[in-house]
Amino acid sequence: MHMALVIVAGLLLLAVFLMFGWLWGASAAGVALAGKVFVPVWLLVAAANLWVGVAHAGYTVREELPILLLVFAVPAIAAGVAVWQLSRA
């Protein structure tokens, strides 16, 4: 359940980034830039989630790495699709 909540939080954070990109850039290029900026920020958040799982929940890094991959990949792929769609416009 925690993993699903983190993925949903990532998708919501992506939406916030895209909205701010639209507000500040007022164009598809501004929104696409916000989507590109989201990916490294989300990687840091996903890595922090891995650290919490290892340091506080008692999981090993080996157990947490597949979780990190999934938690990072779903919102990052969504960001990639958004950037791709906006760069076509």
pLDDT score recorded for residue 13: 97
Cα 14 from Cα 25, distance rounded (Å): 16
Cα 72 from Cα 7, distance rounded (Å): 8
pLDDT digits (tens, 9 = 90+) for 3-13: 999 999 999 99
- DSSP letters for 14-70: HHHHHHHHHHHH-SHHHHHHHHHHHHHHHHHHHHHHHHHHHHTS---HHHHHHHHHH
pLDDT score recorded for residue 8: 97
Residues of the chain with pLDDT > 90, as a percent, come to: 71
Domain boundaries, the chain: 2-88
pLDDT score recorded for residue 89: 65
- Reply yes or no on whether the pLDDT at 32 is more than 90: no
Q: What is the reported pTM? A: 0.90
Cα 6 from Cα 2, distance rounded (Å): 6
